[in-house]
Every structure is written in C-alpha cells, then in structure tokens.
Chains A and B, each alone.
Chain A
Amino acid sequence: MASGPREKFDNPVVEWIDSRLPVFTLMNKEYGVFPTPKNFNYFWNFGAIAMFMLVTMIVSGIVLAMHYTANVGMAFDSVERIMRDVNGGWLIRYIHMNGASFFFIAVFIHMFRGMYYGSYKQPRELLWILGVVIFLLMMATAFMGYVLPWGQMSYWGATVITNLFSAIPLVGEKIVTLLWGGFSVDNPTLNRFFALHYLMPFVIFAVVFLHVWALHVTGSNNPAGIEPKTKKDTLPFHPYYTMKDTFGLLVFIIVYALFVFYAPDYLGHPDNYTPANPLVTPAHIVPEWYFLPFYAMLRAITFDIGIPFTDITIISAKLGGVLTMFGSIALLILLPWLDTHPIRSARYRPLFRTFLLLFVVVFVFLGYVGSQPADATLGPLPLSVFGLLGTAYYYGFFLVILPWLSKNEKGRDLPASIHESVLG
C-alpha cells in the first residue's frame, strides 16, 4: 500500500518494523495527518460511533458464544444461565442486546447524514453502496441473532420472516425448506443461524474496511458539500477529529449505558422471555424496532395485483409485500443515480431539504404503523391505509421527487470555499 518516499521514525523499534512493513507510515498518513475538511459538525461522529459499536458487538458476542448452546432443548435455558449464573453474564448480554439497537441508531443517523449532505454523490457512489451492503448484512445478522434465545418472539419472528421466501414463485417452498433444513423452524435452523450469526460480523468488518478504504480515496464530504481546495479548508485528522469523535462517542456511550443499566428490556419484547412453543402463537408478532418501517411496508400491500375483471393474479399480496420491502433497500443502492442534482448539501437546496425531512417523518411514522396490530385503526380509517400512503411517499420520494428536483430545483449560491463558509 504505502510506497514511495518514507519518513524515518526516531524510535529504532518503530523504524525497524516500519522499514519492513510500513504500518506506522500508513496509520500516520490515514489517521494522523490525513487532511480532513475543517467544517464537520457532530453528524460526522457517527461513522466512528458505528465502528465502536461493531467492535463492542463482536467482543461481547464472542464471550456470549462461550456460554451459549445452540440446541432447541437448551438454548433458552443457556441464555437464562448466562443471566443468572455466569459471572457478569447479565451485563454482557445486556450490552449485546442493547448494543444491537444502538448500532442501528448510529447507522440510521449515519445514513441520514449521508442523505442530507449528499455524501452519496459523485465521486462517492461506491462508498455509499458499500454502506448499503453493510446495512443489509447488519439486518441479516440482527435477525439471526434475535432467533438465538429461542423465546416465543425468536421462534415466531423466524417463522414469519423465513416464510417470506415462500412468496417467490415456483421455487419458494423449496427455498424455505432449504433455509429451515426441515419442514418448520427447528433445531437445524437454530444451529445454522448461530453459525451464520457468528460469521457475519466478520464479513461486515471486511466490508467496513472497504468502506473506509473508499472513503480515504475520495476524502470525506462535509456540511457545505464542496470539495476542499486549499490547505485552509482542512485540518489534520489527529488531534482535531480524534478528539471530536472521542467526545461524541462518550456522549453516545452515556445514553447507551443508561439503557444497559436502567432499562435493559425497554427495547425488547416480554414475549421473548417465554420459551419457544410451536403450538402457540403470541397474539401480536412484531419485529425489533429497527425493522418496523420495513415491516410496515411488507404489510402495506394487502391486495393482489392482477388483470382487472378476471381472477388472474400476477402478483399476490404476499409477493407484493415482499417485493415492496426489499425494493425499499434497492432504492437506496440506486440513490446516486436518482438524485443527480449538482449541489450536494441540503443546506443549499431548500426544496430537497423539505422533502427529505418529510421523508424522515414518514419513515418514523411507518415505524409506528409497523408496531401496531394489523387490524389497528387511526381515527375512522384502518391503519393499513396509512401504511400504504407512507409506502407511496417512500417510493415517490426516490422515484418521482428526487429525479424531478434534480432537473428543476434552482438551489442557493454555494460558498467559494469551505474556509469562507466557516467564516460566514
């Protein structure tokens, strides 16, 4: 990686290593003197925070795996044993359980930051796509992790989500049997989910490495959304942003710790403290909070799509829901080509800013819709109507509003440089 002229280090041991394998030169180049836009706000903390959460999840997860038993007869009890008998087991499990939620909080904010300041635009498209890939891997990992305690929500969540694949025409049922390793969610399913849940964080780690690599090729975007031009526009990463990241991280950890110590089960479901029972379904199956908006989109399609006035169905309600849900993530991948407006930052695009903030409101509202029973109502109307409206806005934002704005939004005048934007 690091080739070309290398500066000598004073410490002879460091110099001995660095002249053979220039890791110190690399670290200094990428994290020491790395020129970073000087106008970052606190939104730029969340990449580092997400990285911290990934490491926290891996460390706590490895320790938990040493006490956990992936067998339907023993899984639930082994988790209870971790909670009651293993030294500090309750703490490690609560760190891991709430860590998943806080990892998602960090990543959602990180993604919002990217959308608001146009960080996905040329030349950072691939950087953005790698981020979406990480998000997908995180969702798969979190889903499989939630199955492991083998409580009622674990079991029925796994049943509902794996059944989604049965919506695939022709081969759907075969795929579901392959996923289960049997004819229902059972021991083979639990066993393989555990193996994959252990593997996938390391895959995520590898993609994060590519994500950071791509970041260091293009350099960071910034709140003004314009590229640094002179030395006046940047600061060395250390100590300026190592300090700012550390400060933000500590504030984040305080909130995280409040949940771990004072409300460890607030974000979970009491039903998951009942052992899995294939014969009894909980009255109200809901996924974890970070899946709720997507779950709402899954349930928004309650009608078959077919040829009018005939009985012929082209897309059943079930398949329609599945396509809508996965499509909502596919749109994120396409984002750099749906929004082609030359201005990056929403600061200088008032219309885009309004529609994007409305998008956030709708996304949170979809989360609420997803958390309610399917037959719930809001005022006189069934809630599913609002789910459908929210889904329509989600799709409309990407497929209609963004392309339209790209052509028609005038935008404000950009500052001449980052330095100038900071000085006002």
Chain B
Amino acid sequence: MAAKTKNNQDGETRRDFLQLTAGAFGAVGAGAVAWPFINSLNPAKDTLALSTTEVDLTPVEIGQSITVMWRGKPVFIRHRTQEEIEEAREVDTADLRDKQTDEDRVEKPEWLVLVGICTHLGCVPVGQKNTEPRGDFGGWFCPCHGSHYDTSGRIRKGPAPKNLAVPPYEFTSDTSIKIG
C-alpha cells in the first residue's frame, strides 16, 4: 500500500516534470522560429551596403556648405571660415545644454560634418545656404519649432534636447571623407 502511494507520487512528479520541460522546449522552439521572421525586418544587406558614403571635398570653398545623403538622411558638410571656428571655440561649455567642446565635434577644424536632422522631432534645419536664416548663433535654424544651432551644430536655444549628431567619418585623403 505504502509502496503504491509512493509510486503514484513519483508518477505525478514525473508528469509535472515532463509537462514543464515539454512546455519550455515548445516555447524556445516557437521563439527560434519567430526570430528569423522578426530579423527579416531588420536592414537587409543591400541597405547595409549603402551605409557608407564617400564625399569629395575639393569643390567646397571656404564658407560654403553642401548636403549629401547618408543612410537616407541629409548630412551637412560646412567648410567653416576662421571666424566661425573661433566663434565655436570661444563658447564656455558650462553654458551649453548638451555640453561638448568644438574640438570633440570635428576631425579637422575647418570641416564640420553633421547629421542634418533636428534632435527635437526630426525636421531638417535650414542654414545650408548663405541666404537662408541661420538663427541667432550663425549655424542652423529649425523652422518647425524654432531651435537655434551654433557654428559647431550645438543646440543653443529652442526645444531640441541635443546637439546635431556627428556621424562616424574619416578622412581618406586631405580632400575626401568617408561617412559611415
């Protein structure tokens, strides 16, 4: 009698164990099947292949700016004048919302490279042409909600929380860069 009860209890624990492990394997299996489907929505290889852009800087005169596309986003490249560089470097970083020195934001002081997307709600700021409004700090101005950026692309006034992003880039020669 006692032996039989013990057997029954054993049977139940074994069944619980089998049920749990079967359930766990089922869940892991379902996850393993789901992952390729979810991952297929991530950037495809051809999209990734477009994730670097090479730019020839020779035609850009001092004081001029150009806009290039990188990963479907506008990238601002400005050939800064000496005054613009000095203006950007004179600022006391303690006064800034997003504290960064100009030196941290450029490879070579005369070339400023930025992702041209306002960090507030993603609009494209104006100020690439000399004729466009550049805001109170001589850099860029976002017309959507009035953010002002300085000559280092740092946020100085308005609702944007962060400085214009600096994309990863490197100089492949003195006059050309590779973004991405």
Contact = CB atoms under 8 A, between A and B. Distances in A.
Interface of A: 156, 159-160, 163, 177-186, 188, 192, 278-281, 283-285, 302, 316-318, 373-375
A192 B73 CA distance: 20
B51 interface: yes
8 contacts: A177-B42, A179-B41, A184-B71, A186-B72, A192-B41, A278-B72, A278-B73, A302-B159
A279 B124 CA distance: 7
A379 to B, nearest CB: 20
B67 A279 contact: yes
Given A159-B122, A163-B122, A285-B144, A316 B41 contact: no
Contacts of A178: 38, 41-42
A363 B73 CA distance: 36
A159 B42 CA distance: 17
Contacts of A278: 69, 72-74, 124
B116 to A, nearest CB: 8
Nearest to A185: B72
B146 interface: yes
B32 interface: no
B121 interface: yes
B8 interface: no
Given A188-B47, A317-B161, A280 B121 contact: no
B44 A285 contact: no
A375 B143 contact: no
Contact of B123 (A179, A182, A184, A285): A285
Contact of B161 (A159, A163, A318, A373): A318
Interface in B36-69: 38, 41-44, 47, 51, 67, 69
Nearest to A278: B72
Contacts of A318: 161
A375 B72 contact: no
A188 B38 contact: no
A182 B145 contact: no
Contact of B159 (A163, A182, A183, A374): A374
A181 B47 contact: yes
B8 to A, nearest CB: 38
Given A185-B72, A278-B74, 12 more contacts: A181-B47, A183-B47, A183-B51, A183-B73, A184-B72, A184-B73, A278-B72, A280-B124, A281-B123, A285-B121, A285-B123, A374-B145
A385 to B, nearest CB: 14
B10 to A, nearest CB: 42
A375 B142 CA distance: 12
Contacts of A373: 145
Contact of A316 (B38, B73, B123, B161): B161
Given A318-B161, A374-B159, A283 B143 contact: yes
Contact of A375 (B42, B123, B146): B146
A284 B144 contact: yes
Nearest to A302: B159
Interface in B15-46: 38, 41-44
A182 B69 CA distance: 14
A160 B123 CA distance: 9
A182 B71 contact: yes
A187 to B, nearest CB: 9
Question: Which among A183, A192, A374 has the greatest number of chain B C-beta atoms within 10 A?
Answer: A183
Given A159-B122, A186-B72, A281 B144 contact: yes
The list of the 4 closest CB pairs from A to B, nearest first, reads: A184-B72, A183-B71, A281-B123, A374-B145
Nearest to A384: B159
Interface string B122-135: 11100000000000
Contact of B72 (A156, A182, A284): A182
Contacts of A180: 43
Nearest to B118: A281
Contacts of A183: 43, 47, 51, 71-73
A347 to B, nearest CB: 44
Contacts of B159: 302, 374
Nearest to A285: B144
